[in-house]
Amino acid sequence: MEQNLKEKTGRNLDEWKAHLNGRGFEKHGEFMAYLKNDCGVSHGNANFIAHKARESDAPSHSPGDLIEEQYQGKESLWPIFE
């Protein structure tokens, strides 16, 4: 999606991030509404740009960490998972 962003929207991802920086948006919906209504970006591209600008698409934990957290305090169940 990022490869075609400039062709579809007129800006690459870094240009969109710079454009959105300092606009005071905090919620995903605020980014989406602005991109779709004011910039004419399609829903899919707006969603992609919003996630990348907010860095909300990157997992905060590795899958292994999530599994370990899930079984924390329930170590007796770990053999069932294994």
**pLDDT at residue 59, as a whole number:** 60
8 A C-beta contact, residue 13 and residue 2: yes
**pLDDT at residue 63, as a whole number:** 66
- Cα 33 from Cα 56, distance rounded (Å): 17
8 A C-beta contact, residue 16 and residue 22: no
Amino acid identity, residue 79? P
Provide block-wise average pLDDT over 10 residues at a time, the chain (82 residues): 96 97 94 98 96 78 75 88 82
Task: Map tokens 């989406």 to a residue.
Answer: 32
**pLDDT at residue 68, as a whole number:** 83
